[in-house]
Amino acid sequence: MEEIKLWKIVSEGEKPKAATPVDKIAQPMTEKDFEDVLTATPGLLMPDLSLVGRQVETPSGWLDLLGVDEDGRLVVFELKRGHLRRDAVAQAIDYGSYLAGLEAEELCGLINKNPARVDDDFAQWYQDNFPDRRLGDIGVPRIVLVGLGVDEGAKRMVTFLARTDLDISLITFQSFKQGGDLLLARQVEVQSRSEDSQSGDKKRNNQLNLNGLLVRLGIEQSYAALIEAIKQGLGDSAYQSPNPSGYSFFLPEVSATGGPVTRSYIALYAPEAKDGRIQIVLQDRAIKAADEEKVKREANAMGSALVRRSGYGEIWIDGRKPSSNYVESLRVLSQAIANGQRAKMENPAKAESLEFSSIPDETERGPEAGTLAGPPDSSDGGVISAE
């Protein structure tokens, strides 16, 4: 491994004068402290990573960190405060093989009983954050080894495995100290084939598929106007994600463990089978945030109605009619959702009340009530319900 070195640029006025080295230190923290830092800042490990478990009990030992990546795949993280060695590679693969053999219900049970879980119900959280995926298809976990260095044997093993179908990678951090500050430098030692060749491909493919669908249906301009109305209503804090038949919109929240999460609130689908009809999907939390009576009024203003389903509601509109029939009501509805969600976040007492009232019972678990799979697995990727 090539050693990383850091220098601080010393300036005189506006011009750089000289570079002074920053001292490297070998082991600046305990393994728990290292884990604490990564848990508090999961972006150090992977972009858009959600941590769903810490020190997860398995038959082979305690799995350090368990996450879900931006594509909805499980990720096993094996951490070492010092150098990663060959036994760490074997241990990480053991954890991954155990999780890969679990049924969806068993996986949910394992995550739900972990104190570091993202929410009380992993199945509901997964459905909310990945509406176009089925929990049953979460697949074989990715494996990431993380340490403050790696020996050549371990690196050789991971490099060899990364050339196979196993999704495994290796990250090292090197630590530096300057004054009272501790600095970390991150280096990807081994990158998996999926990261190397497929990074961002899913979103790009979803966007291309969606663009083609809208053209085939002849509603690309009206759909764009509707999406813009939602964005204006939700504001800059909303996160927008494409799937093959529409967009889902997420808003930031705080999880039960105090960490930042994003949860889905509203989606706009254009299922090909519906020949130009557009489905507005509102999660239960969105309906509560906006007030159900207001949602019904805006649905009526769009010439439609709010139809309640298990865990969500839907409004159907005609995408081939002028978008002006809908954009203002959709903007007002989205703004009401954002305002209600913001008020909930700013008022802890109200937030607790709303969260308690939104806990699903056996008849309210979102699309595909009573299952752990999430929305129906339709060919267009949308949330299509019987009408």
**Per-residue pLDDT tens over the stretch 127-183:** 877 876 778 878 789 999 998 888 888 899 999 998 887 899 998 887 777 777 777
- Considering its fold, how many domains does the chain have in total? 2
Task: Give pLDDT, residue 308.
Answer: 93
Q: Does an H or E element contain 312, and which?
A: strand 312-318
Distance of CA 211 to the CA centre of its chain: 23
Question: Residues 6 or more apart from 131 whose CB is under 8 A from it?
Answer: 243, 248, 264, 267, 281, 367, 374, 375, 383
Distance of alpha carbon 334 from alpha carbon 339, whole angstroms: 9
Task: Note whether 252 and 334 are same-domain residues.
Answer: yes
* Residue 44 falls inside a structural domain: yes
Burial of residue 152 (CB within 10 Å: 0-12, 13-18, 19+) is exposed
Rg for the chain, CA atoms, rounded: 24
* Residue 181 falls inside a structural domain: yes
**359-364 long-range CB contacts below 8 Å, 24 or more apart?**
359/120, 359/121, 360/121, 360/124, 360/284, 360/311, 363/310, 364/284, 364/310, 364/311
Distance of alpha carbon 112 from alpha carbon 384, whole angstroms: 28
Instruction: Say what the pTM is.
Output: 0.54
Burial of residue 198 (CB within 10 Å: 0-12, 13-18, 19+) is middle
User: pLDDT in tens for each of the 387 residues of the chain?
Assistant: 456 777 777 776 666 667 777 777 666 666 677 888 888 888 888 888 888 889 999 998 999 999 998 888 899 999 987 788 999 999 999 999 999 999 988 999 899 887 665 556 888 888 877 876 778 878 789 999 998 888 888 899 999 998 887 899 998 887 777 777 777 778 878 887 665 445 456 677 888 889 999 999 999 999 999 999 999 999 988 888 888 889 999 888 775 555 566 788 999 999 998 989 999 999 999 999 999 999 999 999 999 999 998 788 999 999 999 999 999 999 999 999 999 999 988 775 444 444 433 333 322 223 332 222 223 333 333 444 333
- Tokens 């990546």 belong to residue: 69
Q: Which two tokens stand for residue 311?
A: 């865990």
Task: Note whether 113 and 222 are same-domain residues.
Answer: no
Task: Note whether 163 and 216 are same-domain residues.
Answer: no
Task: Note whether 52 and 89 are same-domain residues.
Answer: yes
Domain stop point among 198, 216, 236 = 198
**Parent domain of 59:** 25-198
Q: Which two tokens stand for residue 226?
A: 């509707």
Distance of alpha carbon 194 from alpha carbon 70, whole angstroms: 13
* Residue 40 falls inside a structural domain: yes
Domain stop point among 198, 220, 246 = 198
Task: Note whether 192 and 209 are same-domain residues.
Answer: no
Distance of CA 176 to the CA centre of its chain: 31
Distance of alpha carbon 32 from alpha carbon 50, whole angstroms: 19
Distance of alpha carbon 381 from alpha carbon 183, whole angstroms: 43
Q: Which two tokens stand for residue 343?
A: 């008020």
* 3-state SS assignment for residue 180: coil
Domain stop point among 198, 229, 263 = 198
Task: Note whether 239 and 114 are same-domain residues.
Answer: no
Distance of alpha carbon 243 from alpha carbon 133, whole angstroms: 10
Strand partners, 56: 63
